Amino acid sequence: MGVAREHGHTISEGPTPADAAGAPALPYPSGWSALAFSHELRPGTVLTRPLAGRDVVLYRTGTGLLRAVRPYCPHLGAHLGLAEVEGEDLTCPFHFFAFAPDGTCVRTGYGTPPPRSPLAHLPVQEVNGGVFVWRHHDGRDPDWSVPQWHQIGHRPARTAAWELAGNVQEVIENSVDLGHFATLHGWSKAEIDGPVTYHDATFHVAMRAHESAPLVGDFTVDVKVDGYGLGCLHADVHTPRFGLRMCTMVMPTAIAPNRMQFRQLNRIAFDEPGRLPPGLARIVSRTAARLLERPVFRSSCEFTAADFPIWHHKQYQQPPRLASGDGPIGPFRRWARRFYPEAPGRGAVPRPHRGEGESRPVLS
């Protein structure tokens, strides 16, 4: 921002964020969206997180049961983000109506018979250190899930979260945008290793990056990416020369038109040196992970954050004007159509956001 000298008021300058630019927004995609990391929901915790323009209340009972509910108490509409967990029950802050894990109202604050007004649950899944909530534009029950992946190393995962303008499809689409790895991320060369495969709600792509760094010279990085809907992808990264292995989970969540939250979770490990005795090799591998996990995570976040200014200000271009070297963006967009409402007479295609219907209450 700058100050106009003559009148002394601030003036706008620089690119306008996507959510303030007034450009049409993609509809909210159907599927699983990450609203939290598992470690944020210890027993007794209540969190409120945005999803597709509405609040979702997450809570964990005293014995560890995880629930996701619509935010308003069915009694008189108090926001349950202000509620408390008492044992296994969620207690409304207004009249102390308490709700069991199945949503049933089990008591009132006055000792009178509780009404038959259950909470509206949303499907929730906890996997790989993330908490995912299901939403479908026409209220369908979940017909796919995020799988449990292998976990590498012995160190706890490191996590980070950001909020910015942009749309979630383009975050996931980045994994097949071959051109930007060189121009934005500085890979000297990137190539896709074999065809990109699509199956229902998932896709898989393998890449090899060629990089160069001072002192160490040239090296390669092998990357295998598995995407699940438009809200989650998992990347296996291996740098053979250094023995570094990293698992990264990227989770963008649509929270408002042209606005998203972005979560990242990383784990690292180092190959055990084959020339050392097994016991010593294990010590060397674990020590390297302990000493280097922080700088490796910082570097991973910096790699991701290079995209943030682009996502924050860009608009979704459809149809795109593609060129040789872009990577298989066209096939990816055809696959991505399945997660949006159908346009009349045109099949499932992204349309400007007009406030799609919300999914009906479903017990988790």
Written as one letter, the residue type at 110 is Y
In the predicted model, is pLDDT for residue 143 greater than 60? yes
* ∠ Cα 217 223 225 (to 5°): 160
How far, CA to CA in Å, does 77 sit from each of 49, 119, 161, 311, 328? Answer: 18, 11, 30, 36, 48
Mean pLDDT of 85-110: 96
Looking at residue 281, what is its pLDDT? 85
Query: What's the mean pLDDT when you consider all of the chain?
Result: 90
Looking at residue 134, what is its pLDDT? 98
Looking at residue 361, what is its pLDDT? 29
- d(C-alpha 266, C-alpha 159), whole Å: 6
pTM of this prediction? 0.89
Instruction: Out of 114-123, 169-178, 185-194, 355-364, pick the least confident.
Output: 355-364
Q: Residue 57: how many CB atoms within 10 A of its CB? A: 23
Looking at residue 359, what is its pLDDT? 33
Looking at residue 356, what is its pLDDT? 38
Instruction: Out of 47-56, 87-96, 121-130, 208-217, pick the least confident.
Output: 208-217
- d(C-alpha 43, C-alpha 27), whole Å: 34
User: For residue 246, what is the enclosing H or E element?
Assistant: strand 244-256
Looking at residue 9, what is its pLDDT? 65
β-bridge partners, 85: 90
In the predicted model, is pLDDT for residue 62 greater than 80? yes
Looking at residue 274, what is its pLDDT? 83
In the predicted model, is pLDDT for residue 278 greater than 80? yes
Q: Provide the percentage of residues in the chain whose pLDDT is more than 70.
A: 91
The 10 Å CB-count burial string (b at 16+, else e) for 95-117 is eebbbbbebebebbeeeeeeeee
Q: Phi and psi (nearest 5°) for 300?
A: -65, -40
The 10 Å CB-count burial string (b at 16+, else e) for 208-233 is ebebeeeeeeeeebebebbbbbbbbb
Burial (0-12, 13-18, 19+ Cβ within 10 Å), 301: middle
**Band (355; pLDDT cuts 50, 70, 90):** very low
Alpha helices (H) along the chain: 168-173, 178-183, 278-305, 308-313, 329-336
**What are 250-260's pLDDT values in tens digits?**
999 999 999 99
**What are 313-340's pLDDT values in tens digits?**
999 999 999 999 999 999 999 999 999 9
Looking at residue 3, what is its pLDDT? 54
- d(C-alpha 156, C-alpha 293), whole Å: 10
Residues in the chain: 364
